[in-house]
Amino acid sequence: MEHLREDRPVDLGAALARARSPERPGPETPAGAPVRAWAGPPCPLPEAGPADLDLRALLRLSLAASDTSGRLRPTSSAGALHPVDTELVVGTGCSLPPGRYGYDPLRHRVHHVGPPGDGTPPGVTAALTVTAQRTVSHYGHRAWPLLLLDTGHAAAALLLAARVLGAGESDVRMDGRTENPLAVVRIPPPDGRSPRRPAETEDPPAPADLLARRSTPPPLPGLPPRDALREVLATAERAGGSGLLRWCAAVGPPRPGLMELAPEGTTLRRYASGDARPTLAAWAAGQAWLADAGAVLLAHGCPADAGTAHIRRAHLRAGFAVHLAHVTALRHGLAARPVGSWQQADLGAALGAAPGRDWVVHALALGTRHADEENST
Ligand SMILES: Cc1cc2nc3c(=O)[nH]c(=O)nc-3n(C[C@H](O)[C@H](O)[C@H](O)COP(=O)(O)O)c2cc1C
């Protein structure tokens, strides 16, 4: 089996075409170390002063392993393989002295790797890269789209943690132009005022919303209430990069079909009828439980002839938006689970449009907790 390595340039267009093909991955290969071997000396994350951006809390709420099993909660990750590595460029106003640090999520500590550099802004700038080998170890040639999606999820986790801590509004850069880093999240220190956020977004989440976030184990039956589904779709659309991706939800009975947000963004409308969920289950590496999910939120786009930057941008954005949609779903009492492995999932062609233009990029399966509870009794 071909090994995809971080130190080798990847033809992303070819990698995506192969990941979308019916070819199955080969046997497992070694995942390697779960944490990058950062060069500098380790140091603990100190307690924050009253006016500082609390990096210990920020990382605890987003990227830190919360138990000793090696599982890097609270961020979701395909196969729980956690390929994302984080370097922090710390400026003034933070609970660490200015400098560059590599983060060790297993030990929840940093390694000092260098000085901050000229013009480092106040607050922290998190640069996200991936160690492809971790995800390749299980997914083989299907890894690259998942690596990009995972990075988007991690960026969203940092953004949400920053909101919880009342930091200034974060700036998330995922333009797809570079592989190292793939994404950059800049978080200013708290400015003493209530956190600014775009007027149309929801209240910031509470720490418990982030620490308790898990992917609900399948099955996920139960059609979500219309209002909750609309909020989940609206969150995804807001975060999903306008013009880059389209969003819809495949719903089951009593009126199966594809729903989307109407252009004014406040109502749901049906734009195709028929039950898409069995097809989605076949496309998602044969995950049969998807055919009975209450609803499946879909990010779609990224045509077959998309260039490297477009592919990166679309997948990073999809991961980012699905993560925010996941937290919104949980806050509305829904069960939810990301679904990132898609083969031959040409949604556009399935709906009668030209083939190769409109592929499923990422998804969030949704159900009702009520159905979940009924299931377990
Ligand atoms: C990009 C991405 C793709 C995923 N794809 C699937 C999937 O296809 N099927 C599935 O059951 N879970 C999928 N998951 C959920 C992961 O298995 C889950 O996040 C991981 O096991 C960690 O568990 P947690 O989210 O509860 O912390 C995916 C998660 C991410 C971030």
Residues 198 and 230 occupy one common structural domain: no
pLDDT at 9: 63
Residues 39 and 188 occupy one common structural domain: yes
Residues 193 and 291 occupy one common structural domain: no
Residues 77 and 29 occupy one common structural domain: yes
CA of 80 to the centre of ligand 1 (A): 7
Are the beta carbons of 78 and 340 closer than 8 angstroms? Answer: yes
Cα 164 to chain centroid distance, Å, stands at 18
CA of 41 to the centre of ligand 1 (A): 33
pLDDT at 22: 97
Q: Ligand 1: which of 62, 66, 76, 149 to mutate, judged by most atoms within 8 Å of the beta carbon?
A: 76
Residues 266 and 181 occupy one common structural domain: no
CA of 220 to the centre of ligand 1 (A): 14
CA of 217 to the centre of ligand 1 (A): 9
**Atom 29 of ligand 1 has which residue's CA nearest to it?**
78
Print pLDDT tens along the chain (377 aa).
Answer: 344 444 456 899 999 999 999 999 999 999 999 999 999 899 999 999 999 999 999 999 999 987 655 555 679 999 999 999 999 999 999 999 999 999 999 999 999 999 999 999 999 999 999 999 999 999 999 999 999 999 999 999 999 999 999 999 999 999 999 999 999 999 999 976 555 555 445 678 899 889 888 999 999 999 999 999 999 999 999 999 778 999 999 999 999 999 999 988 889 999 999 999 999 999 999 999 999 999 999 999 999 999 999 999 999 999 999 999 999 999 999 999 999 999 999 999 999 999 999 999 999 999 997 554 544 43
Rounded CA separation 130/128 (Å) = 7
In a domain, 325, yes or no: yes
Q: Ligand 1: which of 67, 210, 280, 337 to mutate, judged by most atoms within 8 Å of the beta carbon?
A: 337
CA of 376 to the centre of ligand 1 (A): 21
In a domain, 69, yes or no: yes
In a domain, 220, yes or no: no
Q: Which of 186, 202, 218 is the last residue of a domain?
A: 202
- Sheet containing strand 109-114, edge to edge, reads 42-43, 109-114, 99-104, 84-90, 124-130, 183-187, 171-173
In a domain, 287, yes or no: yes
**Atom 9 of ligand 1 has which residue's CA nearest to it?**
339
Identify which of 323, 347, 345, 320 has the alpha carbon closest to the alpha carbon of residue 336: 323
Q: What is the pLDDT of residues 233-263, one digit of tens each?
A: 999 999 997 789 999 999 999 999 999 999 8
Residues 33 and 95 occupy one common structural domain: yes
pLDDT at 72: 59
Question: How many domains does the structure of the chain reveal?
Answer: 2
Residues 269 and 165 occupy one common structural domain: no
Residues 138 and 271 occupy one common structural domain: no
Residue 238 sits in a domain of what CATH number? 3.40.109.10
**Atom 11 of ligand 1 has which residue's CA nearest to it?**
339
In a domain, 115, yes or no: yes
Residues 58 and 175 occupy one common structural domain: yes
Residues 134 and 236 occupy one common structural domain: no
Q: Ligand 1: which of 209, 215, 362 to mutate, judged by most atoms within 8 Å of the beta carbon?
A: 215
Atom of ligand 1 nearest to the CA of 146: 1
Burial 335-349 (b: 16+ CB within 10 A, else e): bbbbbbbbbebbbbe
CA of 150 to the centre of ligand 1 (A): 9
Here the tokens at position 270 are 């049906």
CA of 377 to the centre of ligand 1 (A): 25
pLDDT at 369: 73
In a domain, 212, yes or no: no
Phi, psi of 200, deg, nearest 5: -85, -5
Residues 289 and 195 occupy one common structural domain: no
CA of 205 to the centre of ligand 1 (A): 21
Atom of ligand 1 nearest to the CA of 323: 31
Rounded CA separation 359/346 (Å) = 4
Residues 175 and 262 occupy one common structural domain: no
The one-letter code for the residue type at 255 is R
Q: Which helix (H) or strand (E) holds 65?
A: none
Identify which of 30, 25, 280, 15 has the alpha carbon closest to the alpha carbon of residue 148: 15
In a domain, 338, yes or no: yes
Q: Which of 202, 237, 272 is the last residue of a domain?
A: 202
Rounded CA separation 124/359 (Å) = 35
State the residue range of the domain holding 106.
2-6+25-202
CA of 209 to the centre of ligand 1 (A): 18
Residue recorded with tokens 């392993």: 65
Residue recorded with tokens 């460029």: 89
Q: Which residues line ligand 1 (CB under 6 A)?
A: 73, 76-80, 146, 149-150, 153, 214-215, 284, 287, 319, 337-341
In a domain, 34, yes or no: yes
